Amino acid sequence: MVDLHEADKPLGRTELIARLKGRQGLVCLITDAIDAPLLAACPDLKVVANVAVGFNNIDVVEATKRGVVITNTPDVLTETTADFAWTLLMATARRVVEADRYVREGKFKQWEFMLLLGGDIHGKTLGIIGFGRIGRAMARRARGFDMRVLYQDAVAANPATERELLATRTDTATLLRESDFVTLHTPLLPETQHLINAESLKTMKKTAYLVNASRGPVVDEAALAQALKEGWIAGAGIDVFEREPEVHPALRGLPNAVLAPHIASASSDTRLKMANLAVDNCLAVLEGNTPPTPVNPEVLARR
Ligand code: GLV
């Protein structure tokens, strides 16, 4: 039997727990907090299938202790997410949103040589923090723009991958100092919370741009707003926020920030693939099989 919540709005916690009574499987979204008290209140659960690659909404350690399998949806969203992070990168550097507003507001009275000057992308240095699937997909895109690619990750890519993607592993400080674009593709972990803070933003070039399509709390949003306002960096393309759906009020007023409501994987094709994969994961566990894409709790312990 399937209990389907059709509205595109999260169930309240009390209702979610009530509806999970006697249920073995849950297909859920990143807006559902699957924490220790919820897992304790739902002892029949065998699997939680998150329709997302990130799973910081789930207490994986507690779930594993209780024998609940957690699954996510990697791979199917890699290219779509990288497409959008690249879109933010280009929109920010070339001031697409400001330009659009300028035209709509009737300000385009005559062509001007110095109007809306932006930053070049081709030939510049791209710094990728988090060199997993999406980070590597960004490096592939950078090749088409003749960019130098630096990356930072706890784990080094193998030499063949580094050669193929023309990517060089470096420490965070060097990456921040040398990159013209810094793009974040790391999971949210205790050690990546506020990885980008006032100190790191001050390390970046004044002409550099930040892109975040990972998780909001990886960036100290108040520090970012100050950096954008005071010109510590040139701009930022931001798809994720520290306290979604809230956005730091200072960010909203800044023309050099391009803001999006956490939509990096939101293409019709990809959202369908994510939903199908989550259902396959859920059914596999309920049928006693290994799910296609389980979250390995050891990965969390290792990182
Ligand atoms: C979306 O944010 C995801 O993690 O898939």
Q: What is the pLDDT of residues 156-194, one digit of tens each?
A: 999 999 999 999 999 999 999 999 999 999 999 999 999
Check pLDDT > 70 for residue 301: no
For residues 264-284, average pLDDT: 98
Two domains, one topology: 13-75+267-302 and 78-259: yes
Is the entire prediction scored with pTM above 0.85? yes
CATH classification code of 78-259: 3.40.50.720
For residues 270-296, average pLDDT: 98
Q: How many residues does the chain have?
A: 303
pLDDT value of position 297: 79
For residues 241-256, average pLDDT: 97
Check pLDDT > 80 for residue 94: yes
For residues 103-112, average pLDDT: 98
Residue 36 pLDDT class (50, 70, 90 cuts) = very high
pLDDT value of position 89: 99
Domain 13-75+267-302: which CATH class? alpha beta
The residue extents of the domains of the chain are 13-75+267-302, 78-259
Q: 142-149: which pairs have CB atoms within 8 A and are 24 or more residues apart? A: 145/121, 146/122, 147/121, 147/122, 147/123, 148/124, 149/125
pLDDT value of position 149: 98
Indicate the top mutation candidate among 57, 79, 81 to test ligand 1's pocket, ranked by most ligand atoms within 8 A of CB: 81
pLDDT value of position 302: 46
Q: Which residue has the higher pLDDT, 303 or 61?
A: 61
- Ligand 1 atom 1: the closest Cα is on which residue? 52
The fraction of the chain above a pLDDT of 90, given in percent, is: 97
Residue 73 near residue 104, CB atoms below 8 Å = no
pLDDT value of position 206: 98
Nearest atom, ligand 1, residue 77 CA: 5
Indicate the top mutation candidate among 32, 53, 84, 267 to test ligand 1's pocket, ranked by most ligand atoms within 8 A of CB: 53
pLDDT value of position 8: 86
Check pLDDT > 90 for residue 298: no
The fraction of the chain above a pLDDT of 70, given in percent, is: 98
Residue 223 near residue 197, CB atoms below 8 Å = yes
pLDDT value of position 303: 42
